[in-house]
Homo-oligomer: A and B are copies of this chain.
Amino acid sequence: MTQVKESHQKSETAKQMTLIQAINDAMRLMLEEDDRTVILGEDIGKNGGVFRATDGLQEVFGEERVVDTPLSEAGIIGTSVGLAVNGFRPVAEIQFLGFIYPAYEQIMTHVSRIRMRSMSRFTVPMVIRAPYGAGIRAPEIHSDSTETLFTHMPGIKVVCPSSPYDAKGLLIAAMEDPDPVLVLEPMKNYRSKREEVPVGKYTVEIGKGKLVREGADVTLIAWGAMVSIAEKAAEQAEKKGISCEIIDLRTLYPIDSEMIAESVKKTTRAVIIHEAHHTGGLGNDIISIINDTAFLYLRAPIERITGFDVPVPFFSLEEHYLPTPERVVEGIEKVLHF
């Protein structure tokens, strides 16, 4: 097996990183630490990934551990299943979430079910990374946000970091998880901001949300690229004297129901923001959680500010598809003045 050829001296303990750098850093770290780690996907080796998520990794870790594959999503996920049951820990990149569907059968029927079908004799500790979401003027069909196609699938977990810190911590947690984890990476956030990220290894617990803003009047729930929309909306609302609490869900399955319940019990109102289609979106799951856990506290119907029930439009119209701070503020006012 290829050995780590270079060792990285780390003098500092934290570094300014973008989300994409944090992702890269997580993989580099795990490639160093765990021989079983194999990174594979289209254009991830020599080219370093179309977003540079795997930049430089093949150079350091070699072609056996950072593998350029054929253009074949079912092949990537299907062989990853074989690698995973036979002792490796594959991290498969799907170039865009909108191109994951050819692998849907492998994920739905095998990645998620092998533990159950074999009563835990065979397990598939693997990670699937996929950039997702609209708003970067990408060509059509590159912008889907279809997380619920995976949260509905028992046997896998789904995480979606919005910040560099969470991205590194969640990806490492995913790579160490005994079960398959889908990591959705908001393309819009890849380079949108830098923050301090520890240079060493750490994890962010899968299944835990993050309170990114405390508030009293209404709870905003968002993830991925929508967190910053929620933040902007909260700022606008503040000017109108409305105090918003914001939860960044971070993990989409299993959801941190407790954090949601606690917050809504306090604020008594909720607005959910997601860029996925309205019908069948994760917003519904969250409404159900609130229904189950905070029914008597709720003072107004929960509002959902979401993508519409239309395919994500071509980029000239994508701004009209995506939730905006203004739409969120409208939602906030609606729940407040019910």
- The residues of A with any CB-CB pair to B shorter than 8 Å are 98, 101-102, 104-105, 108-109, 112-113, 116-117, 140-141, 146, 148-149, 151-155, 253, 255, 276-277, 279-285, 287-288, 291-292, 295, 300-302, 304, 308-311, 313
Contact A279 B151 (CB under 8 A): yes
Min distance, Cβ A279 to any Cβ of chain B, angstroms: 6
Question: Knowing that A113-B141, A149-B149, A287-B287 are A-B contacts, what are 15 other residue pairs whose CB atoms are under 8 Å apart, sorted by A's residue number?
Answer: A101-B109, A108-B146, A112-B311, A117-B140, A148-B152, A151-B280, A152-B280, A152-B281, A154-B279, A154-B309, A154-B310, A155-B311, A284-B284, A287-B291, A295-B301
Residues of B within 8 A of A309 (CB): 154
Candidates B140, B149, B277; contact of A154 at CB < 8 Å: B277
Given the interface contacts A98-B109, A104-B104, A113-B311, does A152 sit within 8 Å of B277 by beta carbon?
yes
> Which B residue's beta carbon lies closest to that of A294?
B301
Min distance, Cβ A308 to any Cβ of chain B, angstroms: 8
Complex-state Cα separation, A151 to B149, whole angstroms: 10
Main secondary structure, interface of A, reads: mixed
Contact B154 A311 (CB under 8 A): yes
> Which B residue's beta carbon lies closest to that of A296?
B301
Residues of B within 8 A of A102 (CB): 104-105
Contact B304 A288 (CB under 8 A): yes
Complex-state Cα separation, A299 to B152, whole angstroms: 28
List 6 A-B pairs, minimum CB-CB distance, nearest first.
A152-B280, A284-B284, A101-B105, A104-B104, A295-B301, A284-B288
Complex-state Cα separation, A139 to B265, whole angstroms: 45
18 contacts between A and B (CB under 8 A): A104-B105, A117-B140, A148-B148, A149-B152, A154-B277, A154-B279, A154-B310, A154-B311, A255-B279, A280-B280, A284-B285, A284-B287, A287-B287, A288-B288, A291-B301, A291-B302, A295-B300, A295-B301
Residues of B within 8 A of A113 (CB): 141, 311
Given the interface contacts A280-B148, A288-B304, does A108 sit within 8 Å of B116 by beta carbon?
no
Pick from A105, A117, A140, A309 the residue with the most CB of B within 10 Å.
A105
Complex-state Cα separation, A87 to B301, whole angstroms: 46
Min distance, Cβ A187 to any Cβ of chain B, angstroms: 18
Complex-state Cα separation, A304 to B153, whole angstroms: 18
Min distance, Cβ A149 to any Cβ of chain B, angstroms: 6
